[in-house]
Each structure stands twice: as structure tokens, then as C-alpha cells.
Chains A and B, each alone.
Chain A
Amino acid sequence: MKKYNYFLITCISILFSITTASAQDKVAKIALTFETVDSLHVCKAFVTSEGQPVVELPVKLSVKRLFTKLPIGDAIATDSTGVATFEFPNDIPSKDGKLTIFASIVEDENYMDTEVSGEVKWGQIVVSDNSNVDERSFSAGRDRAPIYFIAISLLIIGLIWGTLLYAVLQVFKIKRLGKLEEIKE
């Protein structure tokens, strides 16, 4: 009998954990809105579940970046009307000003993980400056050497090879003179 007790207790525990786990099956929907109030960027996440606003639910805000999402501040819980209000900083860099902002519910005991995103032009425009590769320098490519350097190098090379060419021409001059002398004799 004792054996069966243990078996029963295990079965009931498993069933219990399954039910509590599936209690997470509550689906929450987030509606993300963006407002600008007195030059302050404000994000509002309105969380509903089965038509009813959800209160005291932590919502995380993040912004999409190249490799990952950058979290903005800490998680803020929804207030009595089911809205979590975030202040969004205005110094997040973006190539064209557009930012993709995510509001997400993560690892909450009662609700499934959800995420919703929206695009808004709140980014601080940052233009990538290619001057470090475009400018002429010693580190740059072959076609971007400093002009003074190219000029001086070509000058030196030109002078030296010019002199060598002159010497070779003089040898041919000797040959010509020799031929003349031969004809004379």
C-alpha cells in the first residue's frame, strides 16, 4: 500500500505541475503606441488578455540593434488601466532616424512570452564617416597615398632614371662617333 501511496503522490504532483504550467497559457496582447509629449518621447504599452486590461504586469522595452536588442531602462509594470508608460531616450543612434522598438513580456508566471514591435522615427541620425578610409594617408590604398609623397617619389625616381638614360644615350653617341671615325679612315 505504501508503494502505491508514493506512486499516487507522484502522479498528482506531475498533474499539478502540468496544470500550473499550462496556467501560463494565458495569452496577452500588447498594443504599442508612440507619443511625443513636450519633446519627450513616450511609449505606451497597453496589455490586454481575453479582452480585459492586465494590471501589475512587468513589460520590457528594447530597441533593435545590429546583433541584439538593447534594453531601455528597467521593466515597468502596467498600471491600473493596463498601460505601461516608458520614457524613451532621444539619443539612440540610427542611420536614417528609424528605430524598431519592441515591447515584450518575458518569463512571467501567468502569461506566455509575447513581443510586439513598432517602427518610429525617434533615432538620432548618425552618418557613418568614411573619412578614415577615404582620406589620403600612409595606411590607405595604393591610389590614396599622400600627394606630396607621390610627387617627391616620382621626382626622385625620375631624376635618377633620367640620369641613367642619359648615360645609355651617351654610349650610343660614342658608337655613332666611332662609325664616323671609321668612315673617315
Chain B
Amino acid sequence: MSENINKHETFTQAEYMVMKDDLLRPIEKVGKAGKIWIAFLVAVLLAGVVAYIIQETKSKYVTTSLRDYTMWGIYISNFLFMVAIGLVGVLMSAILKLTNFEWYRPLSRIAEVIAIGAIMFGGISIVVAMGRPDRLLNLLLHGRIQSPIIWDVIGITTDLTACIILLFIPLIPSLVTCKNHLKNLPKWQLKMYNMLSFGWQGTPEQWQILKKTMKTLTALVIPLGVLICTITAWLFATTLRAEWDSTNFGAYFVSNAFLLSVAVMTFATFVFRKAYNLEKYLTEMHFDKLGQAMVLMALIHGYFNINEYLIPAYKMSGLHENTLLNLFVGKEAGFYWSVVIFGIIVPFLLPLFPKMRKPLPLFIISIVVLIAGWFRLYLIVIPGLLHPYLPIQDVPASWTHYFPSAVEMTVVAATFAGVLLVVTLFSRYFPIISVWEVAEGELEGKEEIFNYK
């Protein structure tokens, strides 16, 4: 059977074997560092579960910092962050694929897995924030189509399904490669590959169906991803609160998502490159291109950021005055300007220099951008809540400010651990780089993949 695999490919056996070896090695052996990493992630995840149980059994008044005015806290801003990085699947696999930017090839599967993990734990982040999670079924039984939350629920489920299908379909040929190439794996794993490969033989008809379906799905997932991101923006823009009552919100959130997607892609690419020794496949060229993408996305997001903050500041309407002054020169000024500098100016300015587009510098920049991006979403949600139309008066001190409690921070950390765990575990059971897509790139004479220094 294994000879049949190469029936329809025409490059040298030697080259292909080297590629397979490199890309399938992480599945074969898990080193000590790998094991420690997984154990650490599981520990953080469990800590989050324990924290959540504590939150639900003891009163939320005591375990969280949520109060009547700041009733949405870091759970919601974390949800926004997860949905934003969930757009990485759209960006990397879909947009690049359809616009014939060949350097997507090794990145697409990484992007899809991150997207799936992020959307899953974004949904979990929202459920954690619910007051009565035991009534989750009410969303189905009594859901109102007019509610933006229902749009969000429908959108997230749809996006998750679409990403899973979009991850799985290109995986089919790789599964057969795994099944044939990796002989000394536990029986159940080989059986799983066999089952999931759906009788893939590599015939021309099958390839045709596969390619066509992939093309349809990638075309679908672009408006779907953008729609999901816009719907999360509409959770805020459909309210009358002055800070959220902005026509710019949809574009602001989507451009933020694209910027964070590039950042998280860079982050993941660097980690996989180093951890699995994939320098030949995740080359410096990829970082160069990612750096350029980051400049573009930072520019676009900076544009919407200016529209969102500078123009209301110009008018300084009484409705926005308190919040804006607070952000620009008041209590949150340090916060706000750090986010602008590290979240927009740094990813725009630094990668303009070729030296900054090397793997390590770009990796550091991407970490900075991700942190700033998380806080940007925090600054959208919480300061607005502290400046309602009617003044906050005569309330206990804890109602007038918000700082996340230990329980909240643990749960949020657990969602991060969850995403990382999903990605790590996937990369240990399935090839994280699409073997056939890379080979296909090589096959069709796309020199770009390997000749760049």
C-alpha cells in the first residue's frame, strides 16, 4: 500500500522522505521539554477549573470584582481577544491562499489550529461570565433572533464548525502519510489516522474533489470570519453607551483582529520553528513576509484607531468627555498610551527595518503586540462602564473601580493555557505543517519556498 502513495507524485523519493521525516518527527517523539510543557499547561488549565468552581459555589460578589456598574470584566475582554486571534485562520489560510501568496503553505494548518483553539476558549470565556450557566439551554429554547448575543452564539458555532472542517479536509492526505510513514506509534493512533483519512487513495478524482472543496470553504470562511469579528463588535455598538455608540466599531474590531492575527501567527511560527527544528520550512522568508503583513495591518488598524479616538476628542462632546479625558490625560493615560505605542506604533514602525523582520526580533515584537492587543480590548470594555450617562454616586468603594480578582485572572490564564494546549496536543498527533501542500509548492516549481536565504 505504501508504494501507492507515491504513484501520483513526481519528485525524488529522497527529497520527499527528508521532508516527511522532518515534518512528522514531532509526532514520533515527545522530548522531556515537550512533556514538561504539556504538564504545565494542564496544571494551569486545572487551576482555572478549580477557580471557576470556587466562583460558582461561593458568591460572585466575593470571588470576582464584578459589580453593578462594571458588570462586564476581563472575561468579556478576554472573549474579544480570543475571537480576534481566531481570525488568524481566515487571514493565513484563506486570504493568502486565495490571493496566491505562496508563503502561506507551511503556515495554514498552524493558523487553523490556533483559530479553533481560540474560538473554543473564547466561547468558554463567555460561559464563565454568565450568571446562570445552568440555564445555557435557554439560549436554544427561548433565543431571540433580534439579540446580538444570539447572533454571536450562532456565529461562533458556525465559525468553529467551519474552521474544524477547513482544518480537517486538507489534513486527509497528510493522515495517510502519517499512517504509512510512522509505523512505531500506538495502535490506536494508527487506527485513528486510518479512520480519519476516509479512504484516501490520492487518485486524481479525489484530489479534484479535495481541491474544489477546499477552495469553496476558504472562500466561505473569509466573510464568515469577518462577520464573527463584526458581531462581537456589535455586542457593544448596539448599545446606547457613549463610549460604544460608534459606527466605527465593526471596522475597528476587524482591523484589530487582523493585526493580532499576524502577531499570533508570528508567535506560533517562531515557537514551532524552534521547538520542532523546522527552520527549513518556516524560513526567514516567512518572517520577512509576516513582518511586512504586520506593518500593513498596524497601519490599517492605526487608521481606524485615529477615527475612533481622535475625532471624538476633537469634538469633546459632553457624552464622551469624561472617558476620553480619562484615557488621554487621566487615570488610564499611562495604560492607553502604552497600548497605542506598543500596540500600533511599534508593529508599524519597527518591522519597516529588514533587521527587525528576522525571526527573533519579530517574535519579541509579536509578543508585545499581543499583550498590547489584550489590553486594548480591556480599555474598550471597562473604562466605558465606569462613565455611564448618569453619574455614579453613593455606592460602596468597590463599585467605583475595577481590578480583576485572583479568581478571574486564574480563569483567564486557564483559557490561554487551553488554547496553547489545543495547539500543542494537535501538533503532537498530527503534522503541524501540511506535508502535501509544501510538497505541492515545491512540485509546481515555486522556488520561493526553499531558495530564499
Q: Which residues of A contact B (CB under 8 A)?
A: 138-142, 145, 149-150, 153, 157, 160-161, 163-164, 166-168, 170-179, 181-182, 185
* Shortest CB distance B64–A (Å): 30
Q: Which residue of chain A has the shortest Cβ distance to B141 in the bound complex?
A: A142
Task: Name the A residues within 8 Å of B224 (CB-CB).
Answer: 160
CA separation between A166 and B215, bound complex, in Å? Answer: 12
Partner of B217, one of A157, A163, A181: A163
Task: Name the B residues within 8 Å of A185 (CB-CB).
Answer: 4
Q: Which residue of chain A has the shortest Cβ distance to B197 in the bound complex?
A: A178
Known contacts A163-B216, A182-B199: A174-B206 contact under CB 8 Å: yes
Known contacts A145-B144, A153-B145, A177-B209: A164-B200 contact under CB 8 Å: no
B200 touches A174 (CB 8 A): yes
Q: Which residue of chain A has the shortest Cβ distance to B162 in the bound complex?
A: A164
Partner of B145, one of A142, A166, A179: A142
Known contacts A145-B144, A167-B216, A182-B201: A174-B172 contact under CB 8 Å: yes
Q: Which residue of chain B has the shortest Cβ distance to A136 in the bound complex?
A: B146
* Shortest CB distance B262–A (Å): 25
CA separation between A32 and B162, bound complex, in Å? Answer: 79
Q: Which residue of chain B has the shortest Cβ distance to A159 in the bound complex?
A: B220
A166 touches B216 (CB 8 A): yes
Q: Which residues of B contact A (CB under 8 A)?
A: 4, 142-146, 154, 158, 161-162, 165, 168-169, 172, 198-201, 203, 205-206, 209-210, 212-213, 216-217, 220, 224
* Shortest CB distance A137–B (Å): 8
A142 touches B142 (CB 8 A): yes
Q: A153-B145, A177-B209 are in contact. List 14 more A-B contacts (CB 8 A).
A: A140-B146, A142-B143, A142-B146, A163-B217, A166-B216, A167-B213, A167-B216, A168-B165, A170-B209, A172-B198, A174-B210, A176-B199, A177-B199, A178-B199
* Shortest CB distance A174–B (Å): 5
A160 touches B220 (CB 8 A): yes
CA separation between A145 and B220, bound complex, in Å? Answer: 27
A177 touches B201 (CB 8 A): yes
A161 touches B158 (CB 8 A): yes
Q: Which residue of chain A has the shortest Cβ distance to B238 in the bound complex?
A: A138
Task: Name the A residues within 8 Å of B146 (CB-CB).
Answer: 138-140, 142, 145, 149
**Interface on chain A toward B: helix, strand, loop, or mixed SS?**
helix
Task: Name the B residues within 8 Å of A153 (CB-CB).
Answer: 145
* Shortest CB distance A105–B (Å): 47
Task: Name the B residues within 8 Å of A150 (CB-CB).
Answer: 145
CA separation between A149 and B169, bound complex, in Å? Answer: 33
26 A–B contacts, CB within 8 A, in A order: A138-B146, A140-B146, A142-B143, A142-B145, A150-B145, A157-B158, A160-B220, A160-B224, A161-B158, A163-B216, A164-B217, A166-B216, A167-B169, A167-B216, A171-B169, A171-B172, A171-B198, A174-B172, A174-B198, A177-B205, A177-B209, A178-B198, A178-B200, A178-B206, A182-B201, A185-B4
CA separation between A141 and B210, bound complex, in Å? Answer: 44
Q: Which residue of chain B has the shortest Cβ distance to A154 in the bound complex?
A: B145
CA separation between A178 and B146, bound complex, in Å? Answer: 45
Task: Name the A residues within 8 Å of B210 (CB-CB).
Answer: 170, 174
B165 touches A167 (CB 8 A): yes
Q: Which residue of chain B has the shortest Cβ distance to A173 in the bound complex?
A: B209
A149 touches B145 (CB 8 A): yes
CA separation between A108 and B4, bound complex, in Å? Answer: 113
Task: Name the A residues within 8 Å of B203 (CB-CB).
Answer: 177-178, 181
* Shortest CB distance B94–A (Å): 13
Task: Name the A residues within 8 Å of B209 (CB-CB).
Answer: 170, 173-174, 177
Task: Name the A residues within 8 Å of B205 (CB-CB).
Answer: 177
CA separation between A142 and B200, bound complex, in Å? Answer: 46
CA separation between A164 and B163, bound complex, in Å? Answer: 10
* Shortest CB distance B250–A (Å): 16
CA separation between A39 and B21, bound complex, in Å? Answer: 104
Partner of B199, one of A139, A167, A170, A174: A174
Q: Which residue of chain A has the shortest Cβ distance to B142 in the bound complex?
A: A142
